[in-house]
Structure 1
Amino acid sequence: MPNTYTQIHIQAVFAVRYRQAAIQKEWQEELYRYITGIVQNHNHKVLQIGGMPDHVHLFFGMRPTQSLSDLMRDVKGESSEWINKSGFCKNYFSWQTGYGAFSYAKSQVPRVIRYIQKQEEHHRKKTFLEEYEDFLKAFEVEYDERFIFKPLE
């Protein structure tokens, strides 16, 4: 797109279905590389990726050539298909429906990168659900508690 200039920084947060701790350390980095490849193939730039066994934080510079919902559909769909074909999980792997997406100014980029790099440390003090609700409140996103990421009841 000639003469189109943007600076869009998005942190997407998405969880394993039923928030199961399915992402194992043995293949976590491979998963992050695979997701990075998906994002790069759509001409976006991954700034940081990380997470825990039950969720992923994906921070990237987004190009205006694709909608966020289309990118997230591709990231989640292609990565879950790859996980299942690779045989990393005994049971069928899938991501929970939906995601959170939050935008940041350029001045906030280093802080968000550090935050994602320190996920293990951060989650010693706070659960994923507490973290996710904090994001929604901080960004003043209206939400229905019935549809927040929940474990299987």
Structure 2
Amino acid sequence: MSFIKIYIHLVFSTKNRVPHLSTFELRIKLWKHIKENASEKGIYLDLVNGYSDHCHCLISLGSGQNIEKVVQLLKGESSYWINKNQLTQDKFSWQDEYFAVSVSESKVDAVREYIKNQEKHHQKRSFADEYQEFLEKNNFI
């Protein structure tokens, strides 16, 4: 038996960063749905949370999974579900791009805390600022 534990911090935004997920109730419903959908598809989604224009996920990739396919399954199905249930005024879609970095075992708890505190975090800081910091911190720019 193979033992695999590859944690990924995944972040993706709404198309053009439109704040479609503007209510706490909608976000809670969406995060619950994404978690359930991930489970049905055999994706280990440790934690999901976000704010009005983006989503954070802590995922552990399994054998045979790759980040591109996991992201496609999570984003594609959730945008379909939002539109099917008419949960936003306008047509909903996620931005094509996403941010994904590996997380060492020693940092998993810190990433969980960061993801859990999105509501509080974004009362002080915009997603654009957060995203820029992610890019710099992880040497993408």
Q: After the TM superposition, which parts of structure 1 deviate over 6 Å for at least 4 consecutive aligned residues?
A: none
Match of 1:105 in 2: 104
Match of 1:130 in 2: 129
Matching residue's letter, 1:14: F
Separation in structure 2 between the aligned mates of residue 70 and residue 109 of structure 1, nearest angstrom: 22
Counterparts of residues 16-95 of structure 1 (less than 5 Å)? 16-23=14-21, 24-95=23-94
Q: Is the 8 A contact 2:27 2:50 kept in 1?
A: no
Deviations 1:37-68 (A, max 9, x none): 22222323222111101000011211132211
Structure 2 residue matching 1:134: 3-state secondary structure: helix
Matching residue's letter, 2:122: H
Number of residues of Structure 1 aligned to a counterpart in Structure 2: 140
Q: Which has the larger radius of gyration?
A: 1
Q: Which runs of 5+ in 2 are unaligned?
A: none
Separation in structure 2 between the aligned mates of residue 44 and residue 72 of structure 1, nearest angstrom: 10
Separation in structure 2 between the aligned mates of residue 43 and residue 140 of structure 1, nearest angstrom: 31
Q: CA RMSD in A?
A: 1.3
Deviation (angstroms), 1:98: 1.1
Matching residue's letter, 1:21: P
Match of 1:151 in 2: none
**TM-score of the aligned structures, taking structure 1 as reference length:** 0.85
Separation in structure 2 between the aligned mates of residue 27 and residue 120 of structure 1, nearest angstrom: 13
Match of 2:6 in 1: 8
The alignment-based identity, stated in percent, is: 31
